[in-house]
Amino acid sequence: MRKNPASRNASDTGCARRRSRSARGAYSRIKGSSVETLAEKVGMSPRNFARVFTRQVGMTPGRFVEQSRLERARHYLEDTQRPVSEVAECCGYTTAEGMRLAFDRHLGVSPREYRRRFASSTVM
């Protein structure tokens, strides 16, 4: 039987929020994070972690990780001259091709094209 959220103990909700924030912080420290790794870091089962994370953050852990990597890669491409392969590695992509596919899927351009369009004038 599912509990009514209003009947939940206030400390349960606060705990879930703290754990969700802990999970967000954990990603910034763990490249290549998995739901299992993050769940273990905050002392939850993977399924419960995914449920709480999605409820608190508004997206699945996998989508959060993907968007975080993409955002970080965008900043590296805009602000540095690091090679695309190095940017991919720094941002947790397994390969530069994986980063290229993510850029194409979400932004409709390759990382090189993104850099050409949006790099800071001081970087070029």
**What mean pLDDT is predicted for residues 42-53?**
94
Q: Are 38 and 21 in contact (CB under 8 A)?
A: no
Per residue in 59-88, pLDDT (tens digit) is 998 899 899 999 999 999 999 999 999 999
Instruction: Please tell me the CATH superfamily of domain 64-118, with its number.
Output: Homeodomain-like (1.10.10.60)
* Domain parsing of the chain, residue ranges: 9-58, 64-118
**Helix or strand (DSSP H, E) at 56:** helix 46-57
Query: Which residues does 77 contact at the CB level (< 8 Å), separation at least 6?
Result: 84, 87, 111, 114, 115, 118, 119
Q: Which of 21-25, 30-34, 100-104 has the lowest mean pLDDT?
A: 21-25
> What is the model's pLDDT at position 9?
43
Confidence of residue 123 (pLDDT cuts 50, 70, 90): low
